[in-house]
Amino acid sequence: MGLKKKEDNENINKGIMLNSKSKYKNIIAITIILAIILIVLLTLNNVGVLNKTGKTKEQMTEAEATTKLEQALETVKTKKETDETYNKEQYINDLLEAQNISIHGDIVAVSGYNYQIDRENLSITQELGKANVEITTKVLNLLGQNDKGKERATIEIEVTSNVPLENIVYQNEDRTYAKETTSELTYKKELELELDKDYVITVETKDGKLNTKVFKNTKEDYKEPSAQ
């Protein structure tokens, strides 16, 4: 009897231990599942925050562009009242372009955002959105120094767009402007320019939108061709 009772107690203890281990494993499994769910929720939340932040930054950029144009138009209004040489054509163009604002007809581009303006009332009549154009520059080779001791180089301008291009207006080394027309989605141009100097390029697409970029290349931008 004593031996059987001892065996029964041992079996009971084993059962308790097995039951405890099973419960412990279940708790671990539940904890792991909850941790995975929490990680997924945090990840989704972070993605949402990043998307909202990116959108907010873009909206701020557009708001700043709008403010810049409104302030420029206010300046033009002041000139209209005080300058006898004022006219609503070239005068407006010159004043806006002096502030790195591109203008073609009634379409104006500020930091890649496009607007239609009323030249008579000097106001924005429509916000046209952002042009889907990318403008990049690359130093192809160094040309040495000019007679002023300034470094020169061959610069490649590359334009890509998801809308057919219309007009490309770029600035030469002597600050004059040249214009080329194309209906392609890409455009490349090589120019011999002085380095460490600002140049302007304006791109007009078939849908009437403009995109302007001020670029400046340095000697450090040049990459030696890799040896074959």
Mean pLDDT of 6-20: 53
Residue 15 placed within a domain: yes
Tell me how many helices (H) and strands (E) the chain has. Answer: 2, 11
Question: Which of 84, 104, 130 is the endpoint of a domain?
Answer: 130
Tens-place pLDDT, residues 71-85: 999 999 998 888 888
In this structure, how many other beta carbons lie within 10 angstroms of the beta carbon of residue 134?
Answer: 14
Residue 164 placed within a domain: yes
Rounded mean pLDDT of the chain? 82
User: 193: closest CA among 175, 181, 212, 169?
Assistant: 175
- Both 126 and 146 in one domain: the answer is no
Residue 163 placed within a domain: yes
- Both 113 and 207 in one domain: the answer is no
- Both 11 and 112 in one domain: the answer is yes
Burial classification of residue 138, based on how many CB atoms lie within 10 Å of its CB (0-12 exposed, 13-18 middle, 19 or more buried): middle
Residue 158 placed within a domain: yes
Question: Which of 72, 100, 130 is the endpoint of a domain?
Answer: 130
Tens-place pLDDT, residues 133-157: 899 999 999 999 999 999 999 999 9
CATH number of the domain that 204 lies in? 2.60.40.10
- Both 83 and 151 in one domain: the answer is no
- Both 64 and 139 in one domain: the answer is no
Residue 45 placed within a domain: yes
pLDDT for residue 18 is more than 80: no
Structural domain range at position 86: 1-130
What was the pLDDT predicted at 86? Answer: 86
- Both 71 and 176 in one domain: the answer is no
Token readout for 28 is: 């671990």
- Both 12 and 31 in one domain: the answer is yes
- Please give the tally of structural domains in the chain: 2
- Both 165 and 195 in one domain: the answer is yes
Residue 139 placed within a domain: yes
Mean pLDDT of 101-117: 84
CA torsion through residues 140, 171, 178, 134, sign: positive
- Both 215 and 165 in one domain: the answer is yes
Q: CA 59 to CA 52: how far, in whole Å?
A: 10
Q: CA 87 to CA 122: how far, in whole Å?
A: 12
Question: Which of 130, 156, 182 is the endpoint of a domain?
Answer: 130
Mean pLDDT of 177-206: 94
Q: CA 196 to CA 215: how far, in whole Å?
A: 9
- Both 193 and 110 in one domain: the answer is no
- Both 108 and 18 in one domain: the answer is yes
Residue 226 placed within a domain: no
What was the pLDDT predicted at 41? Answer: 72
- The answer to pTM > 0.75 is no
